[in-house]
């Protein structure tokens, strides 16, 4: 009992430390953007901050997934197609401004996590989190550095060539029965369990639904 209590308080401490670091990181990003965009002659600090901010953004662009948010009504449709149950772990592997992650947590009761590679977009997501008052987590960095073995549902909006590169990781780590909901683009030659047709009325493209275990062609 005592041991459990001390384990719980240790994990609380780590959680608070992670939140604190995320807050510091976000503040540093916002201050850097403000500093860079303030009119003045470029000094070495401006150049260093600009490079630090722009590198991950370029990586995101080169990796084939620039920041283009999914309209909210389409995000909701994706989460419905994912048949997300209360308490399930939902991950957006490139979460942009966090909209799908916040919706998954607030409206579907999911334990939602979003990863975002671009610092500026990450900062926008953290600001949006305050507006949504969401308990979802947004983590700065490349989702490929994180293990996906306890994830129940992935939502994604990335280009097909990018998605194709993730197949080995998905097949290695995702458990049988977990779902991937991909907006607009298919995942390599995987077999979807469902394709939601595009709709001119709703102004949306197709939505591909995959389930690990039933995805092989």
Ligand X SMILES: C[S@@+](CC[C@H](N)C(=O)[O-])C[C@H]1O[C@@H](n2cnc3c(N)ncnc32)[C@H](O)[C@@H]1O
Work out whether 119 is an interface residue with ligand X (CB under 6 A). no
Residue 67 burial (CB count, 10 A): 18
The Cα 23–Cα 109 span in angstroms is 24
Nearer to ligand X, 115 or 210 (CB): 115
Applying CB under 6 A, among 26, 79, 81, 117 the residue interacting with ligand X is: 117
Work out whether 157 is an interface residue with ligand X (CB under 6 A). yes
- Cβ 90 vs Cβ 111: under 8 Å: yes
Tell how far CA 156 is from the center of its chain.
8
Nearer to ligand X, 114 or 192 (CB): 114
What are φ and ψ of residue 63, in 5° steps? -70, 0
| Dihedral over alpha carbons 169, 172, 176, 180 (to 10 degrees) | 10
Applying CB under 6 A, among 29, 103, 111, 118 the residue interacting with ligand X is: 118
Applying CB under 6 A, among 79, 88, 103, 116 the residue interacting with ligand X is: 116
Q: Binding-site residue total for ligand X (CB under 6 A)?
A: 23
Residue indicated by tokens 């308490």: 87
E strand map for the chain: 89-92, 111-116, 137-140, 153-156, 179-183, 194-196, 207-211
- Give the footprint of ligand X on residues 23-82 (CB under 6 A): 60, 63, 65, 67-70
Nearer to ligand X, 141 or 213 (CB): 141
What are φ and ψ of residue 193, in 5° steps? -85, -15
Stretch that binds ligand X, among 81-89, 109-117, 199-207, 208-216 (CB under 6 A): 109-117
- Which residues are near ligand X by CB under 6 A? 60, 63, 65, 67-70, 92, 94-96, 99-100, 115-118, 121, 142-144, 157-158
């Amino acid at each position: 009992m005592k041991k459990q209590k001390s384990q719980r308080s240790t994990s609380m401490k780590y959680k608070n430390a992670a939140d604190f670091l995320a807050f510091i990181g976000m503040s540093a990003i916002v201050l850097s953007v403000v500093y860079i965009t303030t009119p003045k002659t470029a000094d070495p600090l401006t150049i260093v901050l600009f490079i630090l901010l722009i590198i991950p953004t370029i990586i995101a662009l080169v990796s084939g997934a620039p920041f283009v948010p999914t309209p909210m009504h389409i995000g909701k449709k994706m989460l419905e197609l994912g048949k997300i149950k209360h308490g399930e772990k939902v991950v957006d592997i490139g979460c942009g401004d966090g909209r799908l992650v916040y919706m998954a947590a607030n409206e579907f009761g999911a334990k939602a996590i979003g990863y975002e590679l671009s610092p500026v977009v990450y900062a926008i997501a953290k600001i949006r989190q305050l507006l949504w008052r969401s308990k979802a987590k947004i983590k700065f960095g490349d989702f490929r550095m994180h293990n996906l073995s306890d994830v129940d549902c992935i939502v994604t909006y990335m280009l097909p060539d990018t998605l194709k590169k993730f197949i080995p990781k998905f097949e290695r780590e995702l458990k049988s029965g977990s779902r991937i909901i991909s907006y607009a683009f298919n995942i390599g030659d995987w077999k979807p369990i469902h394709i939601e047709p595009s709709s001119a009325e709703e102004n949306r493209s197709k939505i591909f639904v995959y389930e690990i275990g039933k995805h092989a062609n």
